[in-house]
Amino acid sequence: MHALGVRIGEMCKPGDLILLNGPLGAGKTVLVQGIGEALGINDVTSPTFVISRIHKAPLSLIHVDAYRLLESGNAAAYLDDLDLDTPRENAVTVIEWGGAESARLSEERLEITIDRTEEVREVTIKKVGARWQELEI
């Protein structure tokens, strides 16, 4: 998951949105750590309790964990309260547990789903919008 994150991070540009979905322990945060490493950020941890962290770098990383927002029953409103539109244009935004509420933030995004059993991880990457279509991941 870390190596995949590095590979994706190397392709990132300002304004990119990446949505991650999968069960607890699937490797979502490890993937974000790889993206962070590619951006020159080495202190990426799960923002589960703070919901959102901005890691400053030449290309900054906004890391959101929407799990608690989804539990609230009104994730769209709480996601709006995070004011993600403001800094997103100059950063890469990665949202763990990024469902339909998060997808509305951009018409161009990567949607990554990680399915995991005890022995196997299966990663599905959906490229949404022209930005991602020609990139080999």
Q: What is the mean pLDDT of residues 26-53?
A: 88
Looking at the predicted structure, is the pLDDT value of residue 77 above 60?
no
Q: Which residue has the higher pLDDT, 1 or 104?
A: 1
Q: How far apart are CA 9 and CA 23, in angstroms?
A: 22
| 2-130, CATH topology level | Rossmann fold (3.40.50)
Rg (CA), the chain: 14
Q: Which residue has the higher pLDDT, 101 or 34?
A: 34
- Look at residue 124 in the predicted model and tell me its pLDDT: 95
**Mean residue pLDDT across the chain:** 84
3 state DSSP class of 33: helix
Domain boundaries defined on the chain: 2-130
